[in-house]
Amino acid sequence: MKVRVLVSFKESVLDPQGQAVKNALLTLGYDFIEDVRQGKIFELELKDMSREKIEEMIPEISHKVLSNPIIEKFEWEVID
């Protein structure tokens, strides 16, 4: 089973990486870019487990390990 967790900075937090990418794209003439935010993605391959267990564990590890809730938020989905 495969789960994808996306971790990114909260809206109010400065995202220097996203800004750098945005500036680069604008300099290259991609003037349709309004804004860029950069984040991390984790693809977790899981042993067979129940949907409930996933619903319980993934938010837990996303909160405790994969993200820093002080400045980051996360979302997740089962992809496989």
Partner 1 sequence: MIDKHTLEEHGITQEEYQEIKNLIQREPNLTELGIFSLMWSEHCSYKSSKVHLKKFPTSGKNVIQGPGENAGVIDIGDGLAAVFKIESHNHPSFIEPYQGAATGVGGILRDIFTMGARPIATLDSLRFGPLSHPKNKSVMEGVVSGIAGYGNSIGVPTVGGETYFDPCYSLNPLVNVFCLGLAKKENIFYARAEGKGNPVLYVGSKTGRDGIHGATMASSEFGEDLEEKRPNVQVGDPFKEKLLLEACLEVMEKKLVLGIQDMGAAGLTCSTTEMAANSGTGIEIDLDLIPQREKGMTPYEIMLSESQERMLIVAKKEKIKQVQKVFERWDLDAVIIGKVTDTQNLKVFAKGQAVVDLPVSAVVHLCPAYQRETKPHSPTQTAVCSSDVPLPEEYESIFLQMVRSPGLANKKWIFRQYDHMIQTNTAVLPGADAAVIRIKDTQKALAISLDGNSLYTYVDPRTGGKIAVAEACRNLSCLGAQPLGVTNCLNFGNPEKPEIMWQFKEAVEGIAQACRAFQIPVTGGNVSFYNETEGASVDPTPVLGVVGLINNVDTLISPEFKEAGDCIVLLGETKEELGASEYLKQIHSKKCGPVPEIDLEIEKRVQKLCREAISQGILQSAHDLSEGGLAHCLAECCVLRKTPIGCQIQLDQQIRTDALLFGETCSRILVSLKNKDKDALFALAKKASVPFAIIGKTGGKNIFVRHFGETIWDIPVQKVYSLWNNSIPDTFHVK
Partner 2 sequence: MRFGVVVFPGSNCDHDTLYALRDVTNQESFFLWHKEHDLKDADCIVLPGGFSYGDYLRSGAIARFSPLMQQVKEFALSGGLVLGICNGFQVLLELGLLPGAMLRNKNLKFLCQYVPIRIENTETPFTNRGKPGQVLHIPIAHFDGNYYTDPENLKKIHQNQQVVFRYANPDGSLSSAANVNGSMDSIAGLLNEQKNVMGMMPHPERASDLLLGSTDGQIIFESIIHYLKNDR
Give the footprint of partner 1 on this chain (CB under 8 A): 9-10, 12-16, 19-20, 23, 68-71
Residue 38 binds partner 2, judged by CB under 8 A: yes
Residue 35 binds partner 2, judged by CB under 8 A: no
Q: What's the alpha-carbon Rg for the chain, to the nearest Å?
A: 16
Q: Token digits for 8?
A: 């990114």
Residue 57 binds partner 2, judged by CB under 8 A: no
Task: Identify which of 72, 8, 74, 4 has the alpha carbon closest to the alpha carbon of residue 38.
Answer: 8
User: Using CB under 8 A as the criterion, which residues of the chain lie in contact with a copy of itself when the complex forms?
Assistant: 6, 8, 18, 21, 24-25, 28, 30-47, 49, 53, 57, 61, 64-66
